[in-house]
Structure 1
Amino acid sequence: MKRKPRIIRYTSPAGGWGSMKSLAEILLRERIPLDGAKILMAQNKPDGFACVSCAWPKPAKPHAFEYCENGAKATAWEITSRRTTPEFFAKHTVDALRRWSDYDLEQQGRLTQPMRWDAATDKYLPVSWQSAFEEIGRELRAMQPDETVWYSSGRASLETSFIYALAARLYGTNNLPDSSNMCHESTSVGLTQSIGVPVGTTTLEDMEKTDCIIFFGQNPGSNSPRALHPLQDAHRRGVPIITFNPIREPGLLSFTNPQSPTEMLVTSPTPISTQYHQVRLGGDIAAVMGISKALIAADDAARNSGRVGLLDHGFIAEQTDGFDAFAEAARKISWQTLEARSGLSRNAMEATAAVYGRAQKTMVVYGMGITQHREGVEGVQMLVNLLLLRGNIGKIGAGICPVRGHSNVQGQRTMGISEKPELVPLDKYAERYGFEPPRNAGLNTVEACEAIIAGKIKAFLMLGGNFVRAVPEREAMEAAWSGMRLTVNVATKLNRSHLVHGEISYLLPCLGRIEKDRQATGDQAVSVEDSTACVHGSRGVRPPASAHLLSEPKIVAEIAKAALDPNPRIDWDAWVGDYALIRTEISAIYPDFENMETRMWEPGGFYRAIPARQRIWNTDTKRAHFIDPQSLAEDPDMPEKGTDVLMMMTMRSNDQFNTTIYGYNDRFRGIKGTRMVVLMNGNDIARLDLVDGETVGLATVADDRTREMTGFRVTAYDIPDGCVGAYYPEANALIPLWHHAEGSKVPAAKSIPVRVFKLDGSGGRVRAA
C-alpha cells in the first residue's frame, strides 16, 4: 500500500484526545469495536489478564480502565478478527511475501493452523500437529545439543518459560538467549556488580512516596504509558521530575489523563518534567559524573565550613566501598570535558545536583537509552553511584528502576531462560529431575548470531518474537539463516522471521495470553513478573482464534516428548493438563515462589525478595560498590562534533511495540505515513548541504564492511547537533554485530556512527554529505 508521508509538528500532551482517537481507530481496524472495548475492561485487573505489551507494574487498586494506548493496541492486535489461514498461504509464495512490509504481514491476522514450508512450491502448507512434533523431535535427536538455539522473546508466561528452560537443559544445552540480551542485559550485569542483584530495587509504591524522580533514556509516553499516571500524581505532590533524553518526548513534557472527563474537557495538561536536559547521544556517563562532581564539591564546601554535608557519609562508610576513588575522579575531571562529552552546560548539571541534594528519597528511572551503548554497563553503574552518594538504595521511596520492555522478559530470566549457568539453580534441577544439567556457558543473542553466520547452528527454536528482524547485521543474518537445517516458530501472527527459513521450517500457532486456555482439568491461568519483580496471575477471557491452536506449554511439552527420552520424574502430560503442577515445580526450585498458587492472586501480586532492598549486598565484599567509569564516553568510536560522521540512535514510535508495527503514524513526533525518516538537527542539515524533505542514504562508519540503506527522508527535528534518529527495526541493518556493550553484549543501537549520502535520480549513491 502506497502511503504519502507527512510531517506535522505535534504540540499536544501525551494521553488526551489523541490517545482516545488512536484506540478507537485500532479497535475499528481490527473489526472488534464492541468486543474489544469489553475485553479491555479485564486488562491488568486482579482476576483478568496481564497486558501482553510492556512490563510496567500493575497496581493493587486498579483504575476502571487499567490500560494505556499501547497496551490497548497490543490487545487489539492479539484479539483481532482477522485470520491468516491455509488459504492465504496457498495464494502467496514465501519469496513474494518477503517483499511485504512488517505491518502488512502481521495485519493479515492470527495464524490458525500448523504449517510446514514446502521447498517445491515455496509455500507454507498445512500439516498435522502430530507429524510436526514427530519431525521436529527426529531432527533434534540427530543433532548435537549445542548445535541448537532455544530463543524466547519475553512474552511467554512463567509456566511456559520454566518448562522451556528445563526442556533445553534436559536436551543438553544452555543456548537460551532471549530478548533481554538485546535490551537490559547491561542492567543485569551492571547492577549485579554494583549492588548484588540483577534487577531494580523499587516497587510501584515507591513512586507514591518519593520526593524526586530522575529519568535517563526512557520514554514512558510511547513505551510504558501507564507510568504517566503515577508521574502525574507525583507532579501534583510537588515532586521534581528531572529528565535526561536526547529528544523532547511529549510523554515527559505534559499529560492529560484520558480517564478523567474533567481533564479532557476543562483543565490544562499536567506538566511532567520540571527540568529537561537534552543530553548528547552517549553523553549520559559524563552528565551523571557532572551531577556527582557538583554534589561532591558542595559537600566538601559544607563540611569544610562546619555545616552538614550533602552526602550520606554514614551510609557510605557502613554500606559501600570505592567512594574515595570515585570522589577523587569526580573532583579531578574538568567541567570543560564534562560539557563537551555530555552536550550539556555546567549550569544544567549543577541545577540537577541542587534539586537532588535537597531531596530525601530519590528514584532513578532509566531505559535502553542507557543500556544500548558500548559502555552501557558502566552507564548503569554510574546511575547506581549517583544514588549511593545520598543513600538512595534500600529505603522507601528511593532506588534504581530499570523499565523493562516485554511483559515477562524479566520473569523468563527468573525462570532459568539464561545462557549463563551460574544464574540458574542447576544443582536443584539435578536433584529434583535426576539428570546432570550442562554447566558450560551457552550463547547469548550476539553469540548466537555469530554462530549462525559461521554455520555452526543447525536448529533455531523461536518461542515468540521476530528474531531475524530484531538483531543487528541483517544482511549477513538473513543470508546465513537459510543455511540452518531446522527453524521452528511458535507464534500468533506471521512475521518476517518466518519467511527467512531453514531447510525445514514450521509455523506453530499458539494461544495468546488473552484467550481461554482449556486443558484436561479445565481453564488454566498463568503468571508473569513485572519490572519491579512482582508476580501476577493472568486469566484468558476470550475464545481461541482457532480450534487448531495449542497453548505454549502444550507445544513446548510435545517438542520435549518428541526430542527427549522419557524421564520418570517428569510427567509432561500432567503438567500441561494442570498448570498448577508446573507452579508446584517452580516453587520447589525457586524459594521466592513458595505458595505461588495463592499469592499470585493477591491484590497487586507478590514481590520476589530482592536483597538490595534491605541493604543486603550480595557482592564480593558484601558492600555496595562505587565503580569509577573507565571512560566518560559511552561509545569509544563517538565522532567529534562538527565532522561529517553523525551518531545515530534507533528509536520506537508510539505506533509500535518492539518489532510489531501497529501503523505508520508516530503521533508524538508528528510523522505520518512513513517510518523511513532520519531525524536531524537543523544545523547538521545546513552544514551537510542537505534539504529538509529530501531522500538520502545512511552508511555505517565503523569498519571496512559496507552497511548502507537508502530511502530515508531528511526530517528537521529538535535533537542535539551531531546526533540523528531512525526507526527500529528498519535501521537495524546499519548496526554491526560486534558493536555491542562491553560486558553484556547488548547491541549498541543507541550509538551507531553513520554518514549521510545523497542519491541520484534513480536512487543510487552520489556522494557522502
Structure 2
Amino acid sequence: MTGPKTEQTSDQKIEAYTDPAGGWGSARSLVDILTREEIPVTGAAMLMRQNKPDGFMCVSCAWSKPAKPSTFEYCENGAKATAWEQTRKRIGPDFFERHTVTELLTWSDYALEEKGRLTHPLRYDAQRDRYVPVSWEDAFDEIGRELKSFDPNSVVFYASGRASLETSYMYALFARIYGTNNLPDSSNMCHESTSKALPQSIGVSVGTTVLEDFETTDLILFFGQNVGSNAPRMLHPLQDARRRGVPIITFNPLRERGLERFTNPQSPIEMLTKSSTQISTQYHQVKAGGDIAAITGICKALFAADRDAKAQGRPRILDVGFIEEHTHGFAEFEAFCDRQDWAALEVKSGLKREGLEAAAAVYARASAVIGIYGMGLTQHRRGTETVQMLVNLLLLRGQIGRPGAGICPVRGHSNVQGQRTVGIADDPALVPLDKLKELYGFEPPREKGLNTVEACEAILDGTVKAFIGLGGNFVRAVPDTRRMEEAWRRQRLTVQVSTKLNRSHLVHGEVSYILPCLGRIEIDEQASGPQAVSMEDSTSCFHGSKGVASPVSDHVRSEPWIVAQLAKATLPPHAQVDWDGWVGDYAKVRDAIEATYPATFKDFNARLFEPGGVHKPLAARHRKWETPTGKANFVLPPDGLEEDPDMPARGRDVIDLITLRSNDQFNTTVYGYHDRFRGVKGTRDILFMNENDIARLGLADGEIVDVATDASDGFDREVKGLRIVRYDIPEGNCGGYYPELNVLIPLWHHDVQAKVPAAKAIPVRITRSAMQTAPGGA
C-alpha cells in the first residue's frame, strides 16, 4: 500500500454493534478522548461553553446552534474535536530534532496529529531533512520574497473550511490584490455540486431551511448523510420530530446506526432504561449512484397518483397552484418521468418499485417536507443532477418557501459555507468585484481561478509553483494520492497555516513553512482586547464565537494576524487596506464585510451574538426566484438515466467503492481506531462487502484482498492488504475508509458539472492478495 502505515492495535476485533447511536457508547467515547488528551477536567469544563452564547462555536461540523441551547450543547464528535484541539500534548522544535521528515512520512494520520499542537513557526531544512524553528519575521520575509517572484496565477490560496468569516474575508482580499482568483476550498471536494445545482433550480446556492423548520415539518426525506457520525447534534431535532409522529424516509446504501436508532445521552431516563427512538420509518438501501433513479421513481409514482386523484375527483396530489405560479419546465419533467421504465428504475436504483411507491405515498400525504442530503448525493459523477432531481421532487408539492419545508444540504466543515459567502471562490462571478474595487482602489482579477480539481491538474502539469494552505490537509484529502504526492514536491513554495502536524507538511515544496495558529477555542488577545469571530452554519445563520482557553504557546498567532502579515510582506503598501487596524480589532473586519455585502450583513456587529444566529437573506425562502426564468426550474438530467458516456464499459467483476468516514473520525482527522457503529476495532484496513459479491468473486469473509481502480488511463491505482468484512451493503457496492483509499480515485473521476471528486462510486476490481495478513497501511 502506498503512503503512511496504519497502526494495528493488539485487540483488533470485528464484532457487530447492536446498541443505538448515542447512549452509553457515546458517553464512554467522550471519557476516553478527554483522558487520552490529558484534559479530563478542563476539557469537560470547556464543553459546557461549546455552542453557547458566551462561548465558542464547535470546530467540527456546521450544524446549527439553537437560540436556546441545552445544558450539554455538544455531541460525541464535537467533543472529540474540542479535546483533539485542546490536548495538553505539544509538538515543539525538540520533536523535529528527534524525527526526520522521511521518518515521519511513514507515520499514520492518527499518529501525526495525536502528538499534539504545534507551538513554533517552522522552516524545512533540506540538508538536515528536518523542520527547524524560525522567527515569524524571517518566515514572512522569505515567503513574501518568494510570492513576489511568481506569476500570481501560478499560486494557489486554499482554505479548508474552518477559518472564521473575518479570516476568510482577509485571505480572499489578499489573494485578489495579489492578482489571482485561485481560491479553491474544501467545498470543491464536498458540496460544490450543491453550489452548482441550487442556483439553476431555485436561484440560491445554499439550503432554504432553518432550525425552526424542524419543529413544524411533518415529513423528512433523508439522502446520503451519516448523521450519527458526521452531524450527531442533528439527531436531537430528528428525535423530537419522531416523537411528534413525523415519518423519516431514508435513502442510503449502508444501514447507518444514527439513521436507525438513537438514545439521547443527555436524558437520564433514556440512559438508565437504555431506551431508544427509532429514527427512520422507511429505510431504502439505494445503490451508490442510484439516487437519480430512485427519486425519478418516486416522482413517477406521484404523477400516476395525481392523475388517478384527478380522474376520481379527489384532491390533487401535486401542488398545481404552486407549479403554475412559481415553476418552469414542469411539462418536460412530467414527460421525462413518464417515459422511464419501472424495470430500468429498479435496476439502476437497486430498489423495488413497491418501496419507491411506498415512499411516494407518504410524501403525498405530507404538508411540510424537508429534504436533507449530504455527500452521498454530491460526490458522484452526476452529483449536480442528483441534487436537482431532489429539488424537482420538492417542487412537485410546493415544498420550497414554506414553513417546515425546504432543501437542507448538511455541510461538513464548520465554516465552509461562510467562507464562500465572504469571497473564498474561484469563480469571480460569485464575488462583488466592482465593490472591492470601489472600497480598496485596485483592479480585481476577472478571469476564473482554479478550483480544487483544477489546482491538482495544474500541480501535476507544473503550472502551479506555490501553494498557501489556510488549514486542512490538502495532500491527504484530494484524489489520486500517489500522483499528487509525486507532483507536490516539484513546487517551489508550500506554506501551511495549521494547529497540528499532518501529511501535507511532510510532502512539501522546495521551500516549506509551517505557521502555527490559534484554534477557535483559544482566547485571541489583540490591541483592542479579546476578539470574537464569526461563522455561518448549514442553515445559513451567522454566529459569533469567543475563545475560552489559554493559547497553547506564546509563539502561536491568530489566523487574521498571519494573513495580514503575509499580505504586508507580499503586497506593495496599500493605503486603503488597514491590515494592522483589522488585526487590532476584528469588529473593523466585520464592518468591511458589511460594506462589501450590505444586504447580507446589515448591522453585523450589533447582531453578532443574536440568539439563534443572524439569518442570511435568501430569496427562495420567500418564493422569489433569482433565476434566468424568474421561477423555480424543473431541471432534467442532460443524459437522462443512461449510463455515463465518459466511463468505460464495465465487466461483472467491477464493483463501485464508496469511501466512508468512521465513527472515530472527522474528515482527514482520525481520532482513533474504533468504528463503533460498524463493529470494527483496532484497524482501518477494511473492505466492507455484500455477502453475495464475496461469494460471486470466490472470496471469503475475513480474507485479505487487493483493490485496484478499473481505469485505462495508464496509471496504476491500487491498495493492498484490505480485510473483507461481510456487511449489509447493496450488491455491486463495497465500502472502505477515507482518506486511505483516495489513492483509488482518478483525478478525472468527478462531478461533470461541479468537479467534486466522485468518491462515492469508484469502479474497482478486487483480487485475492498474496499477503496472508493485512499489513497496516494505505
TM-score (norm: length of structure 2): 0.97
Mapped partners of 1:759, 1:394: distance in 2: 54
Matches within 5 A, 1:419-568: 419-568=426-575
Equivalent-residue separation in structure 1 for 2:109 and 2:125 (angstroms): 22
Q: Which residue of 654, 657, 662 maps to 1:648? A: 657
Separation (CA, whole Å) in 1 of partners of 2:646 and 2:308:
37
Report the alpha carbon displacement of residue 636 of structure 1 after superposing the two structures with TM: 5.2
Aligned to 1:268: 275
Kindly report which structure 2 residues correspond to 1:344-383, keeping only aligned pairs within 5 A, or say none: 344-383=351-390
- Distance (Å, rounded) in 2 between the aligned partners of 1:474 and 1:639: 22
The question of whether the paired residues in 2 share the 8 Å contact of 1:255 and 1:270 is answered with yes
Partner deviation per Cα, 1:597-632 (whole Å, 9 max, x = no partner): 121201111100011000111100100000122332
- Residue 706 of structure 2 corresponds to which residue in structure 1? 697
Match of 1:672 among 661, 681, 685: 681
CA distance 1:763–1:13, change in 2 (3 Å): closer
Q: In the aligned structure 1, how far is the partner of 2:193 from the partner of 2:613?
A: 27
After TM superposition, give the deviation of residue 455 of structure 1 in Å.
0.6
In 1, Cα distance between equivalents of 2:658 and 2:701: 19
Verify the 8 A CA contact 1:94 1:124 in the aligned structure 2: yes
* Alpha-carbon shift at residue 198 of structure 1 (Å): 0.4
User: C-alpha offsets along residues 680-720 of structure 1, whole Å, 9 cap, x if unaligned?
Assistant: 00011111111111111100002232111101111100000
| In structure 1, distance between residues paired with 2:289 and 2:250 | 15
Question: CA 1:364–1:187 in structure 2 vs 1: closer, same or farther (change >3 Å)?
Answer: same
Q: Which one of the candidate residues 158, 178, 183 is aligned to 2:185? A: 178
Question: Deviations along 1:101-151, whole A, 9 cap, x unmatched?
Answer: 000000010000000000100000000000000000000001110010000
Answering whether residue 336 of structure 2 is matched by residue 329 of structure 1, we say yes
Counterpart residue number, 2:690: 681
Aligned-residue offset at 1:306:
2.2
* 1:610 pairs with one of 604, 609, 618: 618
Paired residues of 2:704 and 2:772 also in contact (CA < 8 A): no
CA distance in 2, matches of 1:636, 1:160: 42
| Length-normalised TM-score, structure 1 | 0.98
Does the aligned pair in 1 maintain the 2:119–2:555 contact within 8 Å? yes
* Structure-2 change in CA distance of 1:264 and 1:258 (3 Å): same
- Give me the whole-angstrom Cα distance separating, in 1, the residues matched to 2:740 and 2:771: 23
Per the alignment, do residues 529 and 707 of structure 1 end up closer, same or farther by CA in structure 2, a change over 3 Å counting? Answer: same
Cα deviations by residue, 1:70-101 (Å, 9 ceiling, x for unpaired)? 00000000000000010001111101000000
Q: Secondary structure at the match of 1:214?
A: strand
Out of 714, 717, 720, the residue aligned to residue 724 of structure 2 is 714
Q: Tell me the SS of whatever aligns to 2:41.
A: helix
Residues 472, 735 of structure 1: 8 Å contact kept: yes
SS state of the match for residue 389, structure 2?
A: helix
Kindly provide the amino acid, as one letter, of the partner of residue 727 in structure 1: Y
| CA–CA distance in structure 1, aligned partners of residues 416 and 60 of structure 2 | 11
Corresponding position of 1:299? 306
Cα offsets for 1:539-576 (capped at 9, x unmatched): 00000000100000000000000000011111111100
Structure 1 gap ranges (5+): none
Equivalent AA in structure 2 for residue 743 of structure 1:
Q
1:442: how far off?
0.1
Task: Give the conservation status (yes or no) of the 8 Å contact 1:374–1:636.
Answer: no
The match for 1:661 is 670
Whether 1:740 and 2:746 are equivalent positions in the alignment is no
Aligned equivalent of 1:625, options 633, 651, 655 = 633
Q: Write the distance in 2 (CA, Å) between the matches of 1:571 and 1:197.
A: 32
Hey, what's the Cα distance between the residues in 2 that align with 1:54 and 1:179?
A: 13
| Residue of structure 2 in register with 1:41 after alignment | 48
Q: C-alpha deviations, 1:366-423, integer Å up to 9, x for none?
A: 0000000000000000000000000000010000000000000000000100000000
- Distance, in Å, in 1 between the alignment partners of 2:347 and 2:701 is 27
Going from structure 1 to structure 2, the CA distance change for 1:280 and 1:535 (only over 3 Å counts) comes to: same
> Is the partner of 2:34 in helix, strand or coil?
helix
Report what 1:225 is aligned to: 232
Matched to 1:757, the amino acid is T
Residue pair 1:639, 1:645 contacting (<8 A) in 2 also:
no
Quick check: 2:213–2:403 contact (8 Å CA) kept in 1? Answer: yes
- Alignment of 1:201 with 2:208, yes or no, is yes
**CA displacement, residues 160-204 of structure 1 (integer Å, 9 cap, x when unaligned):** 000000000000000000000000000000001100100000000
C-alpha distance in 1, partners of 2:606/2:649?
57
The AA in structure 2 aligned to 1:336 is: A
Q: Which amino acid aligns with 1:77?
A: W
Instruction: Decide which of 590, 593, 610 is 2:601's aligned counterpart.
Output: 593
Q: Distance in 2 between matches of 1:205 and 1:635?
A: 39
- CA drift of 1:304 comes to 2.0
Aligned to 1:105: 112
Q: Distance in 1 between matches of 2:691 and 2:651?
A: 13
Partner residue, 1:259: 266
Residues of 2 paired with 1:634 and 1:657: CA distance?
Answer: 33
Q: By how many angstroms is 1:267 displaced?
A: 5.5
SS of the equivalent of 1:593 reads coil
CA contact under 8 A between 2:648 and 2:711: conserved in structure 1?
A: no
Do the aligned partners of 2:704 and 2:771 also contact (CA within 8 Å) in 1?
A: no
Partner Cα distance (1:167, 1:116) in 2: 22
| 1:698 counterpart letter in structure 2 | V
What is the DSSP-based 3-state SS (H/G/I as helix, E as strand, rest coil) of the residue aligned with 1:649?
A: strand
Note closer, same or farther for the CA distance 1:267–1:477 as it changes in structure 2 (3 Å cut): closer
Q: Quote the Cα distance in structure 2 between the aligned partners of 1:590 and 1:457.
A: 31
CA gap of 1:222–1:641, structure 2 versus 1, over 3 A, is: farther
Compared CA separation, residues 641 and 277, structure 1 to 2 (3 A) = farther
| Structure 2 counterparts to residues 44-123 of structure 1, below 5 A | 44-123=51-130
2:762 is matched with 752
